[in-house]
Structures are given as structure tokens and as C-alpha cells.
Structure 1
Amino acid sequence: MDTALFRLLASALGENAARETFAQLEVAPALLKPAGETVSRAEMAQALNMALFRDVTMRVPAAAAYVADQQRAGQKLVFDHGALRTVAWPCGALPPGEAAITRVLRPLGFELAAPYPLPKLKMTGRAWCHVDHPEDIAQFFVSELHPERFSKGFQAAVTRVLSTSRDPLQPSDMALLEQLARDRCLPWPAALQLLPAMIRCFDRQHGLFPLEDYQALLLESAEMAWIATEGNAFNHATDRVPDLNALAATQKALGRPIKDRIEVSASGRVLQTAFRAAQVRREFLSEGHVVGLEVPGSFYEFIQRGLDGDRLDLRFDAANATGIFKMTAGAAPEEAVAC
């Protein structure tokens, strides 16, 4: 554990949580270097990914149970990618759409790999892959929802919900991101300051909003309703596995909430399935009171990637993504209960 990466992650999570996360995830040897005078952008990217992976695992009970199973079997997970949702619309003090996230990803060494139009969802997904370690550092799948493709009433609700958004990054954080982009590394004090700030970007940035706005959004887009309650938190994290059919059968036999059907890409090389979203309780405003409602939260995904020539096929598939996104559609909401 005497590495720059562990020191960095422990500074954000605490030593016990960092040790636990290292025990759960495979980490490439190239990312396990002794601490020097500076921290590389790859080490910063890996620390961020590991912190976000832990966050999803803590929020999704089925994921926590799966990870515990793997640890008991002496297996570590291969973190393939994390996904999050944004809205291409004015967002208060927060940059609109994917810009709120890509301003962090680019300095870390991620570059746009490919866009994935999701017309059925009125969204666009984009994959961001790390330049230095494309197969070893988890990708980001960042999607944008396009409110202009929905009704005027829907657009008005989006505006009301997002208008209170704050920016989790201070000017000093932006200066450090610029320094990281320029130098591809940071001195330790700067790295220790920037990592928690980056983690804060992957969360909900807007405040309480009316229940009727949530219901209006849900009528037209389960995805926008999800963004309204969960914000820019990881929608899901993904374990890369060698045999997806066997994994799905095992999880189904254990009674886990696994998707009924495996999604297969047009190339046949990328297979995906997932647990259904965990249910979480969120608060809304209703007739002058704060009320609570069970809504879909995040979930956990599994992916099997074949070879494209002599390299791992790191691409995604729009049809697969559309099917996976249904994991947060949820059932009809229950009646709200006053808090």
C-alpha cells in the first residue's frame, strides 16, 4: 500500500476505506508507483474512479452483495466504466450539460472516444477514454438529455428544477485543473486539494423542488426524472467479466435483481446486463410541506468485451445503452409521505 495512488485515495476516503477499495478492485501495476514529488494525471484519474466506484457500491445493496461475494471467492473486480447523466440546458451556476463533467475529465487525460446518439431517449451519450491507460483506467459514459425535444411544459419543469444548481468547483479548483492539463501532474498539496473537489462534481447540485415538477418530468422521461433526484451522481458502475452468461445465471439463481435479457452489440463483441436500480427515498416540496417518496436510484452493470483484432474492444453500442438505461425506469411511484 506504499504507493502514491493509495496515499491519494486515503486522503479522500480515509485509510480503512481506501484499503477496502484496493482489496475490491484490480489496479494495473503501472498505476502503483511509489510516491514522488508529484502526482500524475493517471494517478489522479484512477483515484477519482476508485472513489466513485466505492460510492456506487455503498448506495446499491445488490452491488455491495456482489462485491462481497467476489471478495469471499478471492476475486477482484475489473472496473470497466462508470456512467452519469447531464442535461443540455441552463443549470443555474453549473455549466450546462456534459461541460460540468468534461472540464474535469479532460485535464485528467480523458479524451472523447465516440458519440452514441440515443434517439429513443432524446439523449446523446459520449464515451471518454483515458489516453495513457485506455484498458486499465475505467472509461466514463457521459450522457446529455435534450429538453428542447420535449414539450414546453416539460422544459419549464426542467428549468425550475435545475435553476438552483450550484457549482462545486471554486476558482482555485479550476486553476488546479488548468495546471494539471498543462503539466500532466500536480505537486502533492495541489493533488490533495483537487481530488475531493473533483469527487464533489459527481453529485446532485440542485436543491429541493416541487413534487408536481418531478411528476411532470416522469410522464415524459424517466431519465430526466432520475436526473432530477440524483443529479450527476454515477448512474452505474460496471464490472468487466469473462463470461457474462454464466454470471447472469449465477446472479439469477441467487435471487438478485438481474436484468432478464443480455444486451448484445451489433458487432457481437460487447455483451451487457445489469441489476435493476436500487430504490432510494428522496424529498420533495408539496403544498408547503416536505414529503418523501421512493424513487429509482443507481444500479450496477456487467460487461463482457471481446477482442477487435489484437486489442480489447472498448467501444459501446447505442442499442445496448438504451436497454441498460431502462434499469432506472422503475415502477409507478408510490404515494408521497410527509417527512
Structure 2
Amino acid sequence: MRSPPIRDRTVLVTGGAGFIGSHLVETLAPHNEVRVLDNFSTGDQSYLPEDVTVVEGDISDPIALQQAARGADIIFHQAAMVSVGQSVAAPRASNETNLEASLLVLEQARQEDARVVAASSAAVYGHPDELPVPETASTEPTSPYGIQKLALDQYVRRYEELYDLETVALRYFNVYGPRQQGPYSGVISTFLEQARAGEAITVEGDGEQTRDFVHVDDVVRANLRAATTDSVGEAYNIGTGERISIRELAETIRDATDSQSPVIHKDPRPGDIRHSGADVSKADSELGFDARISLESGIRSLISSEPATASERAAERAVDAQ
């Protein structure tokens, strides 16, 4: 199914120079007026096409936010403090970014009458009591990050109900892909880095915990569908519906890289969720979204690909969207 086109719109991507945001910006930039609001604490301006408008600032700054959002038709809200560990260490600072500043984004969207597609998280479910996890599952987050994302998720949906603002919350499961790096990088990029360097691949705990890994290009497609759907005021799981154990993932990456790295185990993270996997039937039926990139092909592409320019990545996605 062809992804709905977004053309000739004014679009704001908060956190647009970051991992997911920059891929979204690349896809939108050729056919829209795209603005990026980013404080570059983790984002990288080199990820951005030359023809986008960049407002360097924080989403908690009302002036910067107003400047970036003026006249926007759609706001893709990606900016966040994404580290669970950092949210535990500094819950107030995390709350200011993940919730208080997000309310400023929603209020600004009301001023502009702009649709909001917001990044929620599978962290809202905590330890799931059923697998795969449907959107109707109980929500018992285990960290300040999860609590903040749950509150944002609720606010996003209630803004549609209370203020007739078109909104969609996307509950990302484990997103991976190019540009996922730095101290809060995902497990796939960490394992790849260790395997390529010939270092031990370190698995936390016994490795039997399972996750649902979804490629960033599929996440971009989900955002495009959320930006055009009539099913607003809703939350959707964004994953593949497939789970893999972390031990199997480590061995898969080791084999794919022809690495001799041993797979070793270290102490588990306190409060780590044992199993996580998305029920994606609602996103399929209401958004027309299904993940197209298998984990195996996604890992192979990460191993084989050289860094591409923004224009090259945009051209690739234009083909993939067909």
C-alpha cells in the first residue's frame, strides 16, 4: 500500500536533528516547507538537508517554539530526553523536557490549528501482562521516562477530545537504524560497534529477554500515515509484531559481521522488562501501517551501507514509499 503523500505543507519536526527526527525531515523536505527545532544536545546538524529552516533552541523556550511553529500545518513531536537511566537519575529534569515542554508544544499547536503526531513509547506498558501487547493493555510504567510518556500519550489524545485538535500518539517499540549512536544508543548499534571492533558483545542478564525491533524507515512511514489518517485522537503501537531474544540478537549480529567476538553476560539492569512485543493489528487496520523491513535485512543494511547524504536517503525513501 502506497504511503499517503504529504506535499506543499508547512511542517515542524521537534528534535528534527536527532535519530528519528532527521530521517523524518529527509523524507518531508523535498516537497514541503520543513522547519526543525532542536537544541543539538544529541542531534547533529550534518544530518539535515540544506533547504530546511533550523531554529536552534529548546522546546521549553516559548519564543523559539513560537518561531518554529508559526503557520505550521503539522507538528511531528520527536524531541525528548530518551534515556530511562537518566530519567531515574534526574526525574525533574526529564519531566521538564518530556512532559512540561511537550504541553507547550500542544498549546502552540492549538494556536496554529496544527495536527500533532507525537512520539510515545512502549515504556508506557511497563511489564506487560499479555503478549503481544495491544493498545488496551494495562499501563504500569516502571521509570520516570515511562510515566512521562504515558502522561504525554494521554494529553495528546485528550487534546483531540477537549479542543478538537487533530492528534495521534505513536507508541514506538525498539527503534533501530542509521545514526543511532552516542551514550543512549540502542542495543543493535551497540552490539554492531562491539562486533566490528572485535570486542566482547555484552548482554545484560541471561539474554532471554525479548524485544520487538522496528527499523527507523518503517517508523517514518508510520508517522506519515499518522499525519494523514482520519483516525485521530488515538494511540498506536509501532513495531513489527515479531520478537527476538537479546542473546539471539547478539549471535545474529556476530555472525552477520563475521566477528570472532565472544558473547558475554553482565548483571541485568534493575527493573528491566522481561518481554516486550507489539500487537500491531490496530495500526494495520486504522493507519494502513505494516512494518516492511525485517530485522535480518535491516541488520544487513546497517553492516553494508556507507553513510549516505541527506538527498540520497530522501531518494531511497521516495522509492520505498511506493
Question: Normalising by the residue count of structure 1, what TM-score does the alignment of the two structures yield?
Answer: 0.28
Question: Normalising by the residue count of structure 2, what TM-score does the alignment of the two structures yield?
Answer: 0.29
Higher strand share: 1
Q: Which has the larger Rg?
A: 1
